[in-house]
Chains A and B, each alone.
Chain A
Amino acid sequence: MDVIVSRSGGLAGLRLTWHVRVDDQPDSDDWYVLIEQIPWSEPPPLPPEPDRFVYRIRCELQDSAPASRAHDATLAERQLTGPWRKLVDLVQDRTEPERAAPTRRPTR
Protein backbone atom coordinates (compact mmCIF):
# COMPACT_ATOMS: atom_id res chain seq x y z
CA MET A 1 0.00 0.00 0.00
CA ASP A 2 1.08 3.59 -0.69
CA VAL A 3 0.21 6.45 1.63
CA ILE A 4 0.16 9.82 -0.09
CA VAL A 5 -0.30 13.00 1.92
CA SER A 6 -0.67 16.29 0.11
CA ARG A 7 -0.82 19.60 1.90
CA SER A 8 -2.25 22.56 0.03
CA GLY A 9 -3.40 26.03 0.97
CA GLY A 10 -1.72 28.11 3.59
CA LEU A 11 -1.09 31.80 3.10
CA ALA A 12 1.38 30.97 0.33
CA GLY A 13 -0.84 28.47 -1.45
CA LEU A 14 2.10 26.10 -1.99
CA ARG A 15 1.48 22.37 -2.37
CA LEU A 16 3.67 19.67 -0.81
CA THR A 17 3.29 15.92 -1.27
CA TRP A 18 4.74 13.10 0.82
CA HIS A 19 4.66 9.56 -0.55
CA VAL A 20 5.46 6.42 1.46
CA ARG A 21 5.42 2.77 0.34
CA VAL A 22 4.15 1.05 3.44
CA ASP A 23 5.51 -2.37 2.49
CA ASP A 24 9.03 -0.97 2.33
CA GLN A 25 8.84 0.21 5.95
CA PRO A 26 10.47 -2.00 8.62
CA ASP A 27 7.37 -1.52 10.80
CA SER A 28 4.80 -2.03 8.05
CA ASP A 29 2.53 -4.06 10.34
CA ASP A 30 2.23 -1.07 12.69
CA TRP A 31 1.32 1.12 9.72
CA TYR A 32 -1.52 -1.19 8.72
CA VAL A 33 -2.83 -1.23 12.29
CA LEU A 34 -2.77 2.56 12.43
CA ILE A 35 -4.45 2.91 9.04
CA GLU A 36 -7.24 0.61 10.19
CA GLN A 37 -7.75 2.71 13.33
CA ILE A 38 -8.56 5.82 11.33
CA PRO A 39 -12.27 6.57 10.97
CA TRP A 40 -11.92 7.18 7.23
CA SER A 41 -15.57 7.76 6.48
CA GLU A 42 -16.11 10.33 9.17
CA PRO A 43 -13.55 13.09 9.50
CA PRO A 44 -14.97 15.52 12.08
CA PRO A 45 -16.81 18.39 10.35
CA LEU A 46 -15.18 21.83 10.38
CA PRO A 47 -15.62 24.82 8.09
CA PRO A 48 -12.44 25.95 6.31
CA GLU A 49 -10.37 28.60 8.07
CA PRO A 50 -8.65 31.33 6.05
CA ASP A 51 -5.04 30.56 5.14
CA ARG A 52 -4.87 27.28 7.02
CA PHE A 53 -3.51 24.14 5.42
CA VAL A 54 -5.72 21.50 3.83
CA TYR A 55 -4.56 17.87 3.99
CA ARG A 56 -5.58 15.17 1.56
CA ILE A 57 -4.62 11.68 2.71
CA ARG A 58 -4.84 8.76 0.32
CA CYS A 59 -4.07 5.11 0.83
CA GLU A 60 -3.64 3.46 -2.55
CA LEU A 61 -3.43 -0.23 -3.14
CA GLN A 62 -1.15 -2.22 -5.30
CA ASP A 63 -2.92 -4.73 -7.50
CA SER A 64 -3.80 -7.72 -5.33
CA ALA A 65 -5.03 -6.16 -2.08
CA PRO A 66 -8.77 -6.02 -1.35
CA ALA A 67 -10.40 -2.82 -2.58
CA SER A 68 -12.00 -2.11 0.79
CA ARG A 69 -8.61 -1.01 2.06
CA ALA A 70 -8.27 1.97 -0.26
CA HIS A 71 -8.95 5.29 1.45
CA ASP A 72 -9.19 8.94 0.52
CA ALA A 73 -10.01 11.77 2.91
CA THR A 74 -9.60 15.56 2.92
CA LEU A 75 -9.19 17.32 6.25
CA ALA A 76 -8.75 20.84 7.52
CA GLU A 77 -5.58 21.39 9.55
CA ARG A 78 -7.51 21.49 12.83
CA GLN A 79 -9.11 18.14 12.07
CA LEU A 80 -5.73 16.43 12.11
CA THR A 81 -6.01 14.87 15.52
CA GLY A 82 -5.56 11.41 17.05
CA PRO A 83 -4.71 8.67 14.53
CA TRP A 84 -5.00 11.13 11.60
CA ARG A 85 -2.24 13.26 13.09
CA LYS A 86 -0.19 10.20 13.96
CA LEU A 87 -0.28 8.95 10.37
CA VAL A 88 0.63 12.35 8.90
CA ASP A 89 3.48 12.80 11.39
CA LEU A 90 4.76 9.34 10.51
CA VAL A 91 4.63 10.02 6.76
CA GLN A 92 6.38 13.36 7.17
CA ASP A 93 9.00 11.75 9.36
CA ARG A 94 9.83 8.97 6.89
CA THR A 95 10.11 10.92 3.68
CA GLU A 96 10.98 14.28 2.21
CA PRO A 97 8.19 16.24 0.55
CA GLU A 98 7.96 16.97 -3.13
CA ARG A 99 6.70 20.30 -4.31
CA ALA A 100 4.16 20.06 -7.03
CA ALA A 101 2.10 22.33 -9.19
CA PRO A 102 -1.60 22.42 -8.26
CA THR A 103 -3.56 19.48 -9.59
CA ARG A 104 -5.89 20.77 -12.23
CA ARG A 105 -9.28 19.29 -12.85
CA PRO A 106 -10.38 19.29 -16.45
CA THR A 107 -12.23 22.55 -17.04
CA ARG A 108 -15.94 21.96 -16.63
Chain B
Amino acid sequence: MREKQTRSVSALPSVSEARLESVLGTAVDGIVVMDDKARILLFNKACETLFGYTTEEVRGRNVKVLMPAEYAHAHDGYLNNYLETGEKRIIGIGREVRGMHRDGTEFPIELSVGEAATPEGRQFIGIIRDLRQRKAVERRLAEAQAQLVSVTRISALDEMGAAIAHELNQPLTAIMLYLQAAKRKVGDDHRDEKLVEIVDKGVREAERASQIIQRMRRFVEKRDPERRSVNVARLVGECLDLVTMGTDCRDIEIANDVLDGLPDIAVDPVQIQQILINLIRNALDAVRQAPVKRVGLSAAVSGGDMLIRVSDSGGGVPPEVVPTLFRAFSGAKKGGLGLGLTISRSIAQNHGGDLAVEPNGGEGGAAFVLRLPVDTPERGDQVAAPPGRKGPTA
Protein backbone atom coordinates (compact mmCIF):
# COMPACT_ATOMS: atom_id res chain seq x y z
CA MET B 1 0.00 0.00 0.00
CA ARG B 2 2.77 2.33 0.93
CA GLU B 3 4.55 1.26 -2.22
CA LYS B 4 1.68 2.34 -4.41
CA GLN B 5 1.38 5.72 -2.83
CA THR B 6 5.07 6.35 -3.00
CA ARG B 7 4.91 5.67 -6.68
CA SER B 8 2.09 8.09 -7.20
CA VAL B 9 4.35 10.82 -5.86
CA SER B 10 7.64 9.81 -7.40
CA ALA B 11 8.64 8.69 -10.86
CA LEU B 12 7.76 5.46 -12.66
CA PRO B 13 8.01 2.22 -10.77
CA SER B 14 11.09 0.19 -11.38
CA VAL B 15 12.88 -2.86 -10.05
CA SER B 16 15.41 -0.77 -8.22
CA GLU B 17 12.67 1.27 -6.63
CA ALA B 18 10.95 -1.88 -5.41
CA ARG B 19 14.25 -2.97 -3.96
CA LEU B 20 14.64 0.41 -2.29
CA GLU B 21 11.17 0.10 -0.82
CA SER B 22 12.03 -3.20 0.79
CA VAL B 23 15.28 -1.79 2.14
CA LEU B 24 13.42 1.16 3.64
CA GLY B 25 10.78 -1.09 5.09
CA THR B 26 13.22 -3.37 6.83
CA ALA B 27 15.74 -0.73 7.98
CA VAL B 28 16.10 -0.53 11.74
CA ASP B 29 16.89 3.18 11.59
CA GLY B 30 14.30 5.73 10.68
CA ILE B 31 14.68 7.10 7.15
CA VAL B 32 13.01 10.29 5.98
CA VAL B 33 13.38 11.84 2.57
CA MET B 34 12.35 15.43 2.01
CA ASP B 35 12.47 17.83 -0.89
CA ASP B 36 14.08 21.28 -0.91
CA LYS B 37 10.92 22.76 0.58
CA ALA B 38 11.31 20.44 3.59
CA ARG B 39 8.26 18.44 2.54
CA ILE B 40 8.29 14.83 3.51
CA LEU B 41 8.43 12.53 0.50
CA LEU B 42 9.22 9.28 2.18
CA PHE B 43 8.76 8.03 5.70
CA ASN B 44 9.76 4.47 6.42
CA LYS B 45 8.35 1.87 8.77
CA ALA B 46 10.91 2.55 11.50
CA CYS B 47 9.91 6.24 11.41
CA GLU B 48 6.29 5.33 11.87
CA THR B 49 7.23 3.51 15.06
CA LEU B 50 9.57 6.26 16.22
CA PHE B 51 7.29 9.21 15.68
CA GLY B 52 3.83 7.66 15.88
CA TYR B 53 2.64 8.95 12.51
CA THR B 54 1.73 6.82 9.53
CA THR B 55 3.31 7.55 6.19
CA GLU B 56 -0.01 8.80 4.88
CA GLU B 57 -0.30 11.30 7.69
CA VAL B 58 3.03 12.98 7.15
CA ARG B 59 3.66 12.74 3.43
CA GLY B 60 3.77 16.20 1.97
CA ARG B 61 3.91 17.88 5.37
CA ASN B 62 6.87 19.92 6.52
CA VAL B 63 9.52 17.82 8.25
CA LYS B 64 9.21 20.22 11.20
CA VAL B 65 6.34 18.11 12.42
CA LEU B 66 8.94 15.65 13.66
CA MET B 67 10.88 18.24 15.64
CA PRO B 68 10.47 19.93 18.99
CA ALA B 69 9.51 23.61 18.77
CA GLU B 70 12.99 25.11 19.07
CA TYR B 71 14.35 23.07 16.18
CA ALA B 72 11.18 23.51 14.17
CA HIS B 73 11.42 27.31 14.35
CA ALA B 74 14.97 27.34 13.13
CA HIS B 75 14.70 24.66 10.52
CA ASP B 76 13.47 26.79 7.60
CA GLY B 77 16.30 29.19 8.29
CA TYR B 78 18.87 26.40 8.31
CA LEU B 79 17.53 24.95 5.09
CA ASN B 80 17.41 28.27 3.27
CA ASN B 81 20.85 29.15 4.49
CA TYR B 82 22.18 25.93 3.06
CA LEU B 83 20.36 26.27 -0.20
CA GLU B 84 21.71 29.79 -0.63
CA THR B 85 25.25 29.48 0.66
CA GLY B 86 25.98 25.76 0.41
CA GLU B 87 27.36 25.96 3.95
CA LYS B 88 26.96 22.58 5.56
CA ARG B 89 25.85 22.43 9.15
CA ILE B 90 24.52 18.92 9.35
CA ILE B 91 24.78 17.39 5.91
CA GLY B 92 27.42 14.73 5.86
CA ILE B 93 28.21 15.40 9.51
CA GLY B 94 25.46 13.97 11.60
CA ARG B 95 24.67 15.11 15.10
CA GLU B 96 22.73 14.40 18.20
CA VAL B 97 19.41 16.20 18.24
CA ARG B 98 15.96 15.60 19.63
CA GLY B 99 12.94 14.30 17.81
CA MET B 100 9.33 14.74 18.82
CA HIS B 101 6.77 11.98 18.89
CA ARG B 102 3.20 12.62 17.86
CA ASP B 103 2.21 12.67 21.53
CA GLY B 104 4.67 15.49 22.23
CA THR B 105 7.34 13.33 23.85
CA GLU B 106 10.82 14.44 22.95
CA PHE B 107 13.56 11.90 22.61
CA PRO B 108 17.25 11.93 21.72
CA ILE B 109 18.17 10.88 18.21
CA GLU B 110 21.27 10.76 16.12
CA LEU B 111 20.51 12.38 12.81
CA SER B 112 22.65 12.07 9.72
CA VAL B 113 21.60 13.92 6.61
CA GLY B 114 22.65 13.22 3.08
CA GLU B 115 21.80 15.05 -0.10
CA ALA B 116 20.87 13.72 -3.53
CA ALA B 117 20.26 15.46 -6.79
CA THR B 118 17.28 13.75 -8.45
CA PRO B 119 15.31 14.42 -11.60
CA GLU B 120 12.68 15.85 -9.23
CA GLY B 121 15.15 18.29 -7.69
CA ARG B 122 17.29 18.27 -4.63
CA GLN B 123 16.32 15.84 -1.97
CA PHE B 124 17.59 15.33 1.53
CA ILE B 125 17.77 11.97 3.20
CA GLY B 126 17.71 11.85 6.95
CA ILE B 127 18.72 8.74 8.82
CA ILE B 128 17.49 8.69 12.38
CA ARG B 129 18.79 6.49 15.13
CA ASP B 130 16.88 6.30 18.37
CA LEU B 131 19.33 7.09 21.18
CA ARG B 132 17.00 6.40 24.08
CA GLN B 133 18.41 2.96 24.70
CA ARG B 134 21.99 4.10 24.34
CA LYS B 135 21.27 7.06 26.60
CA ALA B 136 19.82 4.72 29.17
CA VAL B 137 22.93 2.56 29.03
CA GLU B 138 25.15 5.62 29.31
CA ARG B 139 23.16 6.88 32.25
CA ARG B 140 23.37 3.50 33.93
CA LEU B 141 27.11 3.39 33.35
CA ALA B 142 27.55 6.87 34.80
CA GLU B 143 25.39 5.98 37.79
CA ALA B 144 27.25 2.75 38.27
CA GLN B 145 30.59 4.50 38.20
CA ALA B 146 29.44 7.18 40.60
CA GLN B 147 28.13 4.45 42.85
CA LEU B 148 31.43 2.61 42.63
CA VAL B 149 33.22 5.71 43.84
CA SER B 150 30.81 6.25 46.70
CA VAL B 151 30.76 2.58 47.58
CA THR B 152 34.48 2.56 48.04
CA ARG B 153 34.41 5.77 50.05
CA ILE B 154 31.19 5.77 51.97
CA SER B 155 32.19 3.48 54.74
CA ALA B 156 35.91 3.33 54.07
CA LEU B 157 36.64 5.81 56.82
CA ASP B 158 34.48 4.02 59.36
CA GLU B 159 35.84 0.67 58.40
CA MET B 160 39.39 1.91 58.32
CA GLY B 161 38.92 3.27 61.81
CA ALA B 162 37.51 -0.04 62.96
CA ALA B 163 40.31 -1.97 61.30
CA ILE B 164 43.02 0.22 62.77
CA ALA B 165 41.45 0.08 66.21
CA HIS B 166 41.25 -3.66 65.96
CA GLU B 167 44.80 -4.12 64.71
CA LEU B 168 46.33 -1.70 67.21
CA ASN B 169 44.46 -3.34 70.03
CA GLN B 170 46.45 -6.54 69.81
CA PRO B 171 49.96 -5.15 70.31
CA LEU B 172 48.63 -2.58 72.75
CA THR B 173 47.01 -5.28 74.83
CA ALA B 174 50.29 -7.18 74.81
CA ILE B 175 52.25 -4.06 75.80
CA MET B 176 49.97 -3.32 78.72
CA LEU B 177 50.04 -6.88 79.98
CA TYR B 178 53.83 -7.12 79.63
CA LEU B 179 54.28 -3.85 81.51
CA GLN B 180 51.91 -4.94 84.24
CA ALA B 181 53.77 -8.23 84.54
CA ALA B 182 57.08 -6.35 84.68
CA LYS B 183 55.73 -4.03 87.37
CA ARG B 184 54.71 -6.98 89.47
CA LYS B 185 58.11 -8.55 89.03
CA VAL B 186 60.19 -5.49 89.96
CA GLY B 187 57.76 -4.56 92.69
CA ASP B 188 57.94 -7.99 94.32
CA ASP B 189 61.60 -8.86 93.91
CA HIS B 190 63.73 -5.74 93.99
CA ARG B 191 61.73 -2.88 95.42
CA ASP B 192 63.39 -0.67 92.87
CA GLU B 193 61.22 2.43 93.26
CA LYS B 194 62.59 4.17 90.20
CA LEU B 195 61.94 1.19 87.94
CA VAL B 196 58.42 0.74 89.32
CA GLU B 197 57.78 4.38 88.58
CA ILE B 198 59.03 4.07 85.02
CA VAL B 199 56.93 1.01 84.38
CA ASP B 200 53.94 2.78 85.90
CA LYS B 201 54.44 5.63 83.49
CA GLY B 202 54.69 3.15 80.65
CA VAL B 203 51.40 1.59 81.72
CA ARG B 204 49.76 5.00 81.89
CA GLU B 205 50.89 5.86 78.38
CA ALA B 206 49.64 2.54 77.07
CA GLU B 207 46.32 3.22 78.78
CA ARG B 208 46.20 6.62 77.16
CA ALA B 209 46.66 5.00 73.77
CA SER B 210 43.98 2.49 74.63
CA GLN B 211 41.55 5.27 75.52
CA ILE B 212 42.16 6.87 72.16
CA ILE B 213 41.37 3.58 70.51
CA GLN B 214 38.25 3.11 72.57
CA ARG B 215 37.06 6.57 71.66
CA MET B 216 37.74 5.84 68.02
CA ARG B 217 35.88 2.57 68.34
CA ARG B 218 32.89 4.21 69.99
CA PHE B 219 32.78 6.73 67.19
CA VAL B 220 32.95 4.04 64.55
CA GLU B 221 30.39 1.86 66.28
CA LYS B 222 27.86 4.67 66.43
CA ARG B 223 26.77 3.88 62.93
CA ASP B 224 24.64 0.77 62.79
CA PRO B 225 24.82 -1.15 59.55
CA GLU B 226 21.62 -0.77 57.62
CA ARG B 227 20.69 -4.35 57.23
CA ARG B 228 18.11 -5.59 54.88
CA SER B 229 17.24 -8.62 52.87
CA VAL B 230 19.48 -8.80 49.84
CA ASN B 231 19.28 -11.11 46.85
CA VAL B 232 22.69 -12.71 46.46
CA ALA B 233 22.61 -13.27 42.70
CA ARG B 234 21.58 -9.69 42.05
CA LEU B 235 24.19 -8.28 44.43
CA VAL B 236 26.99 -10.34 42.90
CA GLY B 237 25.83 -9.48 39.38
CA GLU B 238 25.82 -5.76 40.16
CA CYS B 239 29.29 -5.90 41.66
CA LEU B 240 30.59 -7.77 38.66
CA ASP B 241 29.06 -5.15 36.36
CA LEU B 242 30.56 -2.35 38.40
CA VAL B 243 34.04 -3.79 38.29
CA THR B 244 34.04 -4.95 34.68
CA MET B 245 32.59 -1.68 33.39
CA GLY B 246 35.49 0.25 34.80
CA THR B 247 38.36 -2.01 33.74
CA ASP B 248 39.64 -3.80 30.71
CA CYS B 249 39.08 -7.49 31.25
CA ARG B 250 38.35 -8.71 27.74
CA ASP B 251 40.90 -11.49 27.81
CA ILE B 252 39.75 -12.77 31.21
CA GLU B 253 37.20 -15.54 31.40
CA ILE B 254 34.73 -14.62 34.11
CA ALA B 255 32.37 -17.37 35.22
CA ASN B 256 29.51 -16.17 37.38
CA ASP B 257 27.89 -19.32 38.77
CA VAL B 258 25.84 -17.55 41.41
CA LEU B 259 22.35 -18.83 40.72
CA ASP B 260 19.08 -17.15 41.38
CA GLY B 261 16.93 -18.85 43.97
CA LEU B 262 19.41 -18.77 46.83
CA PRO B 263 18.06 -17.52 50.13
CA ASP B 264 18.50 -13.81 50.77
CA ILE B 265 21.20 -12.54 53.09
CA ALA B 266 20.69 -10.00 55.87
CA VAL B 267 23.36 -7.40 55.20
CA ASP B 268 24.15 -3.79 54.56
CA PRO B 269 24.27 -4.06 50.76
CA VAL B 270 26.64 -1.12 50.31
CA GLN B 271 29.20 -2.60 52.66
CA ILE B 272 28.97 -6.08 51.21
CA GLN B 273 29.22 -4.62 47.73
CA GLN B 274 32.43 -3.01 48.88
CA ILE B 275 33.83 -6.39 49.90
CA LEU B 276 32.77 -8.12 46.71
CA ILE B 277 34.11 -5.36 44.48
CA ASN B 278 37.39 -5.52 46.34
CA LEU B 279 37.57 -9.29 45.97
CA ILE B 280 36.61 -9.29 42.30
CA ARG B 281 39.14 -6.56 41.54
CA ASN B 282 41.84 -8.47 43.37
CA ALA B 283 40.94 -11.62 41.45
CA LEU B 284 41.11 -9.80 38.11
CA ASP B 285 44.46 -8.27 39.06
CA ALA B 286 45.75 -11.67 40.12
CA VAL B 287 45.09 -13.31 36.74
CA ARG B 288 46.17 -10.43 34.53
CA GLN B 289 49.71 -11.77 34.15
CA ALA B 290 48.79 -15.43 34.59
CA PRO B 291 48.90 -17.97 31.72
CA VAL B 292 45.31 -19.01 32.46
CA LYS B 293 43.06 -16.02 33.09
CA ARG B 294 39.98 -17.26 34.84
CA VAL B 295 37.89 -15.72 37.60
CA GLY B 296 35.01 -17.61 39.14
CA LEU B 297 32.12 -16.54 41.34
CA SER B 298 29.86 -18.95 43.16
CA ALA B 299 27.59 -19.06 46.18
CA ALA B 300 26.15 -21.79 48.34
CA VAL B 301 24.42 -22.18 51.69
CA SER B 302 26.28 -24.04 54.40
CA GLY B 303 25.24 -24.42 58.03
CA GLY B 304 22.84 -21.48 57.99
CA ASP B 305 25.39 -19.20 56.34
CA MET B 306 25.82 -18.02 52.80
CA LEU B 307 29.25 -18.71 51.38
CA ILE B 308 30.19 -16.50 48.46
CA ARG B 309 33.35 -17.65 46.75
CA VAL B 310 35.55 -15.52 44.50
CA SER B 311 38.26 -17.63 42.92
CA ASP B 312 41.03 -16.91 40.47
CA SER B 313 43.61 -18.82 38.45
CA GLY B 314 46.43 -16.47 39.39
CA GLY B 315 49.58 -17.06 41.39
CA GLY B 316 47.77 -17.82 44.64
CA VAL B 317 48.62 -16.56 48.10
CA PRO B 318 51.98 -17.82 49.40
CA PRO B 319 51.45 -19.86 52.59
CA GLU B 320 53.73 -17.57 54.59
CA VAL B 321 51.57 -14.57 53.70
CA VAL B 322 48.25 -16.17 54.68
CA PRO B 323 48.54 -15.52 58.46
CA THR B 324 49.02 -11.78 57.97
CA LEU B 325 46.93 -11.37 54.83
CA PHE B 326 44.04 -9.74 56.66
CA ARG B 327 46.17 -7.56 58.92
CA ALA B 328 46.12 -3.85 58.31
CA PHE B 329 49.15 -2.37 56.55
CA SER B 330 50.66 -5.78 55.81
CA GLY B 331 49.62 -5.97 52.16
CA ALA B 332 52.29 -6.81 49.62
CA LYS B 333 50.37 -5.12 46.84
CA LYS B 334 51.93 -2.00 45.46
CA GLY B 335 49.97 1.21 45.50
CA GLY B 336 47.80 0.45 48.49
CA LEU B 337 47.84 0.51 52.23
CA GLY B 338 46.92 -3.14 52.35
CA LEU B 339 43.65 -2.16 53.98
CA GLY B 340 41.25 -3.68 51.47
CA LEU B 341 41.19 -7.16 52.90
CA THR B 342 41.41 -5.90 56.47
CA ILE B 343 38.40 -3.68 55.98
CA SER B 344 36.59 -6.43 54.11
CA ARG B 345 37.10 -8.91 56.91
CA SER B 346 36.12 -6.35 59.50
CA ILE B 347 32.87 -5.66 57.61
CA ALA B 348 32.17 -9.37 57.31
CA GLN B 349 32.78 -9.91 61.01
CA ASN B 350 30.58 -6.97 61.91
CA HIS B 351 27.85 -8.79 60.04
CA GLY B 352 28.48 -11.91 62.10
CA GLY B 353 30.28 -13.52 59.18
CA ASP B 354 33.89 -13.82 58.13
CA LEU B 355 36.26 -13.65 55.20
CA ALA B 356 38.83 -16.38 54.62
CA VAL B 357 41.25 -17.43 51.92
CA GLU B 358 41.92 -20.93 50.66
CA PRO B 359 43.80 -22.44 47.72
CA ASN B 360 41.65 -22.61 44.60
CA GLY B 361 41.65 -26.39 44.13
CA GLY B 362 43.22 -27.84 41.01
CA GLU B 363 43.29 -24.58 39.08
CA GLY B 364 45.87 -23.00 41.32
CA GLY B 365 45.34 -19.44 42.45
CA ALA B 366 43.36 -18.32 45.44
CA ALA B 367 39.75 -18.47 46.52
CA PHE B 368 38.31 -15.96 48.94
CA VAL B 369 35.26 -17.17 50.81
CA LEU B 370 32.90 -14.58 52.23
CA ARG B 371 30.60 -16.01 54.88
CA LEU B 372 27.45 -14.06 55.68
CA PRO B 373 24.34 -14.83 57.68
CA VAL B 374 21.30 -15.94 55.72
CA ASP B 375 18.24 -13.80 56.29
CA THR B 376 15.86 -15.35 58.79
CA PRO B 377 12.37 -14.22 59.78
CA GLU B 378 13.43 -13.57 63.40
CA ARG B 379 16.33 -11.41 62.30
CA GLY B 380 14.34 -8.31 63.16
CA ASP B 381 14.45 -9.25 66.85
CA GLN B 382 18.16 -9.87 66.80
CA VAL B 383 19.09 -6.65 65.14
CA ALA B 384 17.00 -4.58 67.47
CA ALA B 385 18.27 -6.43 70.53
CA PRO B 386 17.19 -4.74 73.76
CA PRO B 387 20.06 -3.30 75.82
CA GLY B 388 19.73 -6.11 78.35
CA ARG B 389 20.70 -8.63 75.73
CA LYS B 390 24.05 -7.07 75.10
CA GLY B 391 26.94 -8.73 76.82
CA PRO B 392 28.62 -7.12 79.79
CA THR B 393 31.73 -5.28 78.82
CA ALA B 394 34.80 -4.18 80.64
Q: Are A and B co-members of a single complex?
A: no
